Amino acid sequence: MGIVKISDQLHEQIRVASDAMDRSINAQAEFWIKIGLLAELNPHLGYNDLINKLLLNKSDLIRGRSE
């Protein structure tokens, strides 16, 4: 586990989102980081596709393969 420094504005956005999504602030930040990483590795996939494929086959997404 490490410490990541973020702006106060981003921290506030994470706090608001975590309340809305019923997650802890850390869980919300981790979710956004994970989705961002997967989006960069799979730029041809939309958000819903990333979520669906994450649920079905996480290992292929991390390797940058969607098929």
Q: Hey, what amino acid is at 12?
A: E
Q: What is the pLDDT of residue 51?
A: 87
Q: What is the pLDDT of residue 15?
A: 97
Q: What is the per-residue burial (b if ≥16 Cβ within 10 Å, else e) of 25-51?
A: eeebbeeeeeeeebeeebeebeeeebe
Q: What is the pLDDT of residues 53-67, one digit of tens each?
A: 777 766 665 665 555
Rounded CA separation 9/37 (Å): 21
Q: What is the pLDDT of residue 65?
A: 58
Q: What is the pLDDT of residue 64?
A: 59
Rounded CA separation 39/33 (Å): 10
Q: What is the pLDDT of residue 55?
A: 78
Q: What is the pLDDT of residue 61?
A: 57
The low-confidence residues of the chain, meaning pLDDT below 70, are 57-67
